[in-house]
Each structure stands twice: as C-alpha cells, then as structure tokens.
Structure 1
Amino acid sequence: MLALERHRQMLDLLKKHGSVRTTEVAKTLGVTEETVRRDFEKLEAEGMLMRSHGGAVRLETQRREFPVRERAAQNSGAKIQIARAAVAKISEGQTIFFDPSTTVQHLAEALPDIPLTVVTNSLQIANLLADKPAVHVVLLGGNLMSSSLSCTGWAAEQTLNLYRIDSAFVSCRGIDPERGLSEASEEQARLKHRVVEGAESVYLLADSSKSGVASSYFYSQNSAVDVWITNEKPSPALESALTAQGVRIELA
C-alpha cells in the first residue's frame, strides 16, 4: 500500500473515531506499528493530527468545545464503565463536586439516592439529580455555555468559594505526562482549576482516548489528582510519569 493511501485511510479513521491506537491501525492496514508511528509523525508535522501515547487524535477533537450530545456519543461504553466504578468512592454525608463532562453525567445517573450534597455547574446533572430527593443539589450560576449546558465565570467561581468540597469528580480533554490536565474551553479550565485547588480529594474520570493528549488550556498539575479511574491501562511511559507524581491509577 502506498504511503499516500495509508495516510488517507488513517485520517478517515481519525475523522470517524476522533482517536486511534497504533496497534489497531497497524492491524487494520496490515503494516507494522513502526510504520504507523512514522506515518503519525509525518502527519503531525503537516498539522493533520496530534500524536498521543499509544496512538493519535484528531486535532479539532481536543481543541474545540463540542456540543454535549456529540460528546456523549464518544466512547460511551467506557464512560459508563468508569462512572460505575466511581460510585464506590462516594459516601453519605459528603459534599462533592460534579463537573459537566459526559463521563460524570453517567456518574450522576448511577449515584444512589443517599444523603449528600452535590455542587455542580452542569444543568443536565442538576436535572438528573432532581429525581433523587435525598441528594441536596447546589447549582452554580453564571454565564451559560450552550455547548456544555453549564455555567462558568465570576459568579460560578465566587459561589464555589462558599463550600468545602470533600471530593471532586472531574474529567478533561487531555492528560499530558508533564503539563497535566487540559480543557478545550478557557472558562471550564478556570473553574476546574478552582475546584481542584480547593477539594480534599480529586478523582479524574477519563477514558483512554485522553492519554498523552494536550488540549488548549491546562487547568491542573497531575500531582493534584489522587485517583485516575480509566478503562484501559495507559502506556508504560505515561503510567510511570503519573505514578511518580503521586497519581493512583485504577482500572474500571
């Protein structure tokens, strides 16, 4: 197969899935993993994709704030798996924070109706929890972001200061081994920075497509994360870097 044809098929796979694994592409195209890695390097230099640990991601997948319905359809099985594992980290009487990510929305759906307080800036999560009378919901106000159906800005950040957060459950658009967690939106990054900075414990709920990826705005060092719950074991290099920074990795 000619290189140009390989590149076209790789970009088609990225367009369809948003992210691909080196091993899977090699198997699909019938070439070696080393060939795929060289092709990824060339395509990255041309601005066609971004390499990640173990694969590659479509650039706009990490740089844009996609509508919540579109994000919900991406890797939904892995997100549900991660959310179910995260339920075990929640206890009665806690005050916890839920970010507006689609993975955490699945956590809100799986959350049992127990006495606790959930602080969130997500309209969808607040709506999901409204059917659970034992759960006290605090909805942060502010500037409505239509893409994520969530509130950000000065008002949301100031309201957040009123609460002591026992555990924060957050996701991200990318996990860089050196620079940390990132988001596609500056507004979401600012709020998440405040959340992570003030929470007693931080649980990162992120599927394997986020591994080794850097989006537009970094909001936290990896060392601020206590536990990363994911669906697949990360690459040895990323696992080693995060473990050295004090992150415990748990597979759902």
Structure 2
Amino acid sequence: MFQEERMQLIIEHLRKHNRISADDIVSLFDVSRDTARRDLIKLEEQDAIIRTRGGAILPVPPDEHRSYKDRLLHISDEKRAIGKLAAAIVRQGEHIILDSSTTVQTCAENLNGKSCTVITNSIYSAELLSNHTAVQIRLLGGKVDKEQRYVYGTSVIETLSHYYVDKAFIGIGGITMDGFSASEEEGKIKHKMMLAAKQVIVLADHSKFDKRYGYRFADWSLVDVLITDQWPSQDWRTFLTEQQVEILIPEPTIEKEL
C-alpha cells in the first residue's frame, strides 16, 4: 500500500473514532512503528491532523468558521467565568483594548460600573457597552464583517499603531508552546492590539490548548497573563513559569495544586 492511500485511511479512521495511536496504525496496516510515525508527520505537515503523544486527533474547526450569532449561542459557563475574572482586573480610569472574540465579549459584559475607555473592533461589544454609562467606547473603523460582527482591514491595523493602552484582552483560536493562532485576518489585528498594550492578557478555556489554526500571529514573549478555566498540565505550568506568564483561574474552578 502506498503512503498516500494509507494516510487517507488514517483520516477515515479518525473521522469514525476521533483519535488514532501509532500502535493502531502498526496493527491496522501491518507497518513498522517508524512508518507510522512518518505517516503522522506527513499528515501534520499537511495540517490534516494534530499530533498527540503516541498518536493523533483531527483538528477542531475554529470558532472563526462559525457565525458570530452561532458562537454567542454556545458560550460556555467556563468562558463566562473567564470573562468575569478578566473584567475584575480592569482598574478605574484605564484604557483597554478588547478584541472581537466571544470570550473577550464576556469581559465586556462585566464592565458595568467601571470608568474606563474601551477600544475595540467588535460591533457586538461596542453595542453592549453603549448601555454602560461609565465606559467610553472607541469603535475602530474599517470594513465590516457582517457575519462575524467585527471591523477589519488595513485601516484598523493602522489606527491601532497610534494607540498605547494599559491592557489588551485577546481571545485565541489555538494555543501551543510555539505561540497563538487564529484566522489570518483576525490574527493580524490581534497582533497589533498586543503591541499597543503595556500588559497583554490572553483569555482561553482549556479546549484551546495544544490546538493550531491557520495563522500564527504571536509568541509568548508578548503575553503577561493567561486567564483560563482550569489548571493546565504540569508541562504547561513549567513552560508558562519559564515564559514569566502569570496564570489566573476563576475561583469556582480552581483546582488544588499538587
């Protein structure tokens, strides 16, 4: 059997069973473990799979590929808890940036009573914050993505280069130790938002870890704080300590550290 045929069968197996191990490939196709490893490496290079320890899974379609309305309907309690904690660290009088992700939108929902200035490309967050009398809103101008409810384009990126803010709150499509990824259009904007801030806070629930999406837009050197819903693995905690990134977990889901 040629490698291309075997790789297609590996994908079909993943679609039925969600994951596959190197041992499964050895058993199913009567090949060596080195051959199984080469197949997985080739599939990863084609962005067809995400390699895991000992095997692989299929990539999950990112939120960017779903309509904003659909994404709003599926905001989890974990994301809401992350947003509430993010809002709690905003200080009176600060200038902050909020990106267009639904997790960051939950931060906007909890800013009521905070006297601050919000710069955003999210149409939804701007509408939401218009009911918060203490919040000053600066909606970035550019092309409007009606489906995803955000403003994008070169004018947004250029305008962001003139801002210098206290904090930027950034939602993520995928997180690896190599950095952060999202759709290309949003990724370019997120990167510029990070550069404009004294402190960068990434908001991401546990499902975003070890996921890669189409466009890598930043590495960990730009990040100061990670707010997530549960403690990551010990390998991740060691890595984040090395990167000098502070981890914040909402109180209701704090797990006791070993």
| TM-score calculated relative to the size of structure 2 | 0.76
Structure 2 residue aligned with 1:214 = 212
- Alignment partners' CA distance in 2, 1:5 and 1:143: 39
Q: Whose RCO is larger (CA < 8 A, sep 6+)?
A: 1
The answer to whether 1:128 aligns with 2:128 is: yes
Unaligned runs of 5+ in 2: 1-9, 26-35, 251-258
Structure 2 residue aligned with 1:10 = 17
Structure 2 residue aligned with 1:50 = 50
Verify the 8 A CA contact 1:171 1:206 in the aligned structure 2.
yes
CA-to-partner distance for each residue in 1:55-98, whole Å, 9 max, x for gaps? 97642513953211233344511100111111221011000000
- Higher gyration radius (CA): 2
Using a 3 Å threshold, how does the CA distance of structure 1 residues 39 and 204 change in structure 2: closer, same or farther? farther
**Aligned positions of 1:24-173 closer than 5 A:** 49-51=49-51, 58-62=58-62, 65-74=65-74, 76-173=76-173
- Report deviation, 1:114: 2.4
Verify the 8 A CA contact 1:7 1:39 in the aligned structure 2.
no
Verify the 8 A CA contact 1:62 1:214 in the aligned structure 2.
no
With 98-107 and 155-164 compared, the bigger mean Cα shift is at: 155-164
Among all aligned residue pairs of Structure 1 and Structure 2, give the percentage whose two residues are the same amino acid. 33
- Alignment partners' CA distance in 2, 1:222 and 1:248: 11
Alignment-mate amino acid for residue 134 of structure 2: A
SS of 1:112's equivalent in the other structure is coil
Unaligned runs of 5+ in 1: 12-24, 26-34
Using a 3 Å threshold, how does the CA distance of structure 1 residues 64 and 112 change in structure 2: closer, same or farther? closer
Structure 2 residue aligned with 1:32 = none
SS of 1:201's equivalent in the other structure is strand
- Alignment partners' CA distance in 1, 2:245 and 2:70: 30
Alignment-mate amino acid for residue 163 of structure 1: Y
With 157-166 and 133-142 compared, the bigger mean Cα shift is at: 157-166
CA-to-partner distance for each residue in 1:118-143, whole Å, 9 max, x for gaps? 00000000000010111000000112
CA-to-partner distance for each residue in 1:135-187, whole Å, 9 max, x for gaps? 0000001122234211111111122233221100011111111x21111x211
- Alignment partners' CA distance in 1, 2:102 and 2:131: 18
The count of residues paired between Structure 1 and Structure 2 equals: 226
- Report deviation, 1:101: 0.5
Q: How big is the alpha-carbon RMSD for the aligned residues of Structure 1 and Structure 2?
A: 3.1
Verify the 8 A CA contact 2:160 2:196 in the aligned structure 1.
no
- Alignment partners' CA distance in 2, 1:174 and 1:246: 20
Verify the 8 A CA contact 1:63 1:215 in the aligned structure 2.
no
Structure 2 residue aligned with 1:200 = 198
- Alignment partners' CA distance in 1, 2:82 and 2:146: 25
Verify the 8 A CA contact 2:75 2:103 in the aligned structure 1.
no
- Alignment partners' CA distance in 1, 2:55 and 2:231: 14
The answer to whether 1:244 aligns with 2:251 is: no
- Report deviation, 1:233: 1.4
Alignment-mate amino acid for residue 190 of structure 1: K
SS of 2:62's equivalent in the other structure is helix
- Alignment partners' CA distance in 1, 2:53 and 2:203: 18
Using a 3 Å threshold, how does the CA distance of structure 1 residues 93 and 248 change in structure 2: closer, same or farther? same
SS of 1:166's equivalent in the other structure is strand
